[in-house]
């Protein structure tokens, strides 16, 4: 295999707190191994359009605590086509980039896998998404921060819920996964947690509401993952109002505040460790894998697996949450 001297790094898909810490770690690890690191702007689009610049230690100074991504991110339709990927490869060759670190979620890792296999480019993926739904790591970069953001918001909402005897339906992110909903729901003592991985039966929901009313005049918090089969918070609100017309129900959709903000210490440490291991992995000859942390051990999982499987949610924890909410 050709030796690696120049490593490209990019962030793609939805941004996640801790991406900057990961970029910083990739750059610092590269310098440690006397390699050059080039930052690709706007994800795969930057490879196609040659939006590339060298990253020095100075460029990643003072970013470990910042949310978002200094490299910017984008969803890139052109990279889904063979012509787009060919242009990206041509740019890499022209720039002398030998290997790529791609930081992002499912879509990013899918693109990285196809690109690496198609052109024989060494690629390593880093799990960067608030959704925590990637197979091959216990935690993704950004998830812990997002959960803490939700907890802070819901604690505040609960004050109003209690003061006004109101029921709040709070919608959190998670198009396909309920990790944010489950963890934040447990941490805030939510009366009900609705996630796509566990079917909610309407009568069960009504039962828990009726039970809740008996001890707190109808105040409460329902956390719904945006991808729940019920159809999100507005749909849940409609159903509740129909069945319990006297309930004072409000909806709060937390939206993109969950994606921004300073990364938690957990996410900074995770991103730093994984970023370093991505570079070390590439130099050790690893490719077509995602670097993750499982049971506190660094694991390299083939990208085929990370994109084919989902990280299973802890359904037992969901059942425990139901009991604790009684
Ligand atoms: O980052 C993942 C995610 O937050 C999903 O949970 C959500 O559905 C999606 O991104 C929204 O992304 P965008 O705002 O980029 O369309």
Going by alpha carbons, the residue nearest to atom 10 of ligand 1 is 14
pLDDT band at 216 (very low <50, low <70, confident <90, very high): low
Calpha distance 115→119 (Å, rounded): 6
- For the ranges 181-195, 196-210, 216-230, the maximum mean pLDDT occurs at 181-195
Going by alpha carbons, the residue nearest to atom 12 of ligand 1 is 14
Q: Which atom of ligand 1 is nearest to the CA of 16?
A: 1
Q: Which atom of ligand 1 is nearest to the CA of 174?
A: 6
> In terms of pLDDT, which residue wins out, 219 or 68?
68
pLDDT of residue 203: 86
pLDDT of residue 21: 99
Going by alpha carbons, the residue nearest to atom 16 of ligand 1 is 14
Cα 145 to Cα 25, 111, 148, 270: the distances in Å are 18, 26, 5, 12
pLDDT digits (tens, 9 = 90+) for 270-295: 999 999 999 999 999 999 999 999 99
Average pLDDT over the chain reads 95
Given the residues 15, 98, 131, 144, the one annotated as active site: 131
Domain boundaries, the chain: 6-142+263-308, 143-259
pLDDT band at 269 (very low <50, low <70, confident <90, very high): very high
Calpha distance 321→186 (Å, rounded): 6
Mean pLDDT of 154-182: 96
Cα 258 to middle of ligand 1, angstroms: 10
Listed range (7-16, 154-163, 206-215, 252-261) with the worst mean pLDDT: 206-215
Please choose, from the candidates 160, 129, 74, 136, the residue with its C-alpha nearest in 3D space to the C-alpha of residue 311.
Answer: 136
Cα 245 to middle of ligand 1, angstroms: 33
Q: Which helix (H) or strand (E) holds 110?
A: helix 106-119
Write out residues with Cβ below 6 Å of ligand 1.
14, 129-131, 173-175, 226, 259
Q: Which atom of ligand 1 is nearest to the CA of 177?
A: 6
Q: Which three-class secondary structure state does DSSP give residue 142? A: coil
Calpha distance 296→326 (Å, rounded): 33
CB contact set of 275 (below 8 Å; sequence gap of 6+) = 21, 22, 23, 24, 25, 26, 29, 101, 126
Mean pLDDT of 153-160: 97
Neighbours of 189 (CB within 10 A): 14
Topology classification of domain 6-142+263-308:
Rossmann fold (3.40.50)
Residue 69 · residue 11 · CB < 8 Å:
yes
Residue 158 · residue 188 · CB < 8 Å:
yes
pLDDT digits (tens, 9 = 90+) for 80-132: 999 999 999 999 999 999 999 999 999 999 999 999 999 999 999 999 999 99
Please choose, from the candidates 140, 116, 119, 136, the residue with its C-alpha nearest in 3D space to the C-alpha of residue 128.
Answer: 140
pLDDT of residue 89: 98
Same fold, 6-142+263-308 and 143-259: yes
Q: Which atom of ligand 1 is nearest to the CA of 130?
A: 1
| CATH of segment(s) 143-259 | 3.40.50.460
Please measure the distance between the N-terminal and C-terminal CA atoms of the chain and give it in whole angstroms: 60
Q: Which three-class secondary structure state does DSSP give residue 317? A: helix
Please choose, from the candidates 223, 196, 220, the residue with its C-alpha nearest in 3D space to the C-alpha of residue 210.
Answer: 220
User: Phi and psi of 134, rounded to 5°?
Assistant: -95, 130
* Mutation probe of ligand 1 site: the residue of 12, 175, 176, 223 with most atoms within 8 A of C-beta: 175
Listed range (61-65, 145-149, 200-204) with the worst mean pLDDT: 200-204
pLDDT digits (tens, 9 = 90+) for 28-87: 999 999 999 999 999 999 999 999 999 999 999 999 999 999 999 998 999 999 999 999
Q: Global pTM? A: 0.96
Mean pLDDT of 139-152: 98
Going by alpha carbons, the residue nearest to atom 13 of ligand 1 is 14
Does the annotation count 106 as an active-site position?
Answer: no
């Amino acid at each position: 295999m050709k030796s690696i001297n120049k490593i490209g790094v990019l962030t793609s898909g939805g941004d996640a707190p801790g991406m900057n810490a990961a970029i910083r770690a990739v750059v610092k690890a590269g310098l440690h191994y006397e390699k050059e690191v080039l930052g690709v702007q706007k994800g795969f689009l930057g490879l196609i359009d040659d939006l590339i610049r060298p990253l020095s230690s100075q460029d990643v100074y003072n970013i470990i605590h910042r949310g978002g991504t200094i490299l910017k991110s984008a969803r890139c339709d052109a990279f889904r086509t063979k012509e787009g990927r060919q242009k990206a490869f041509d740019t890499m060759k022209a720039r002398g980039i030998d290997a790529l670190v791609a930081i992002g979620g499912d879509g990013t890792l899918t693109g990285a896998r196809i690109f690496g296999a198609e052109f024989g480019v060494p690629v390593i993926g880093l799990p960067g998404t608030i959704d925590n739904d990637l197979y091959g790591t216990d935690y993704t970069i950004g998830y812990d921060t997002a959960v803490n953001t939700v907890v802070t918001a819901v604690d505040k909402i609960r004050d109003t819920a209690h003061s006004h005897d109101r029921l709040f339906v709070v919608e959190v992110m998670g198009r396909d996964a309920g990790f944010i909903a489950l963890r934040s729901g447990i941490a805030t003592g939510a009366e009900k947690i609705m996630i796509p991985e566990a079917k909610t039966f309407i009568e069960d929901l009504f039962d828990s509401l009726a039970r809740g009313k008996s001890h707190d005049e109808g105040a409460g918090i329902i956390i719904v993952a945006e991808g729940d089969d019920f159809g999100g918070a507005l749909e849940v609100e409609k159903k509740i109002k129909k069945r319990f017309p006297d309930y004072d129900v409000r909806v709060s959709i937390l939206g993109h505040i969950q994606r921004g903000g300073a990364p938690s210490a957990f996410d900074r440490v995770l991103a730093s460790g994984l970023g370093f291991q991505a570079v070390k992995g590439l130099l050790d000859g690893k490719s077509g894998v995602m670097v993750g942390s499982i049971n506190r051990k660094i694991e390299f999982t083939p990208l085929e697996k990370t994109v084919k499987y989902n990280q299973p949610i802890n359904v037992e924890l969901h059942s425990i949450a139901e009991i604790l909410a009684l």
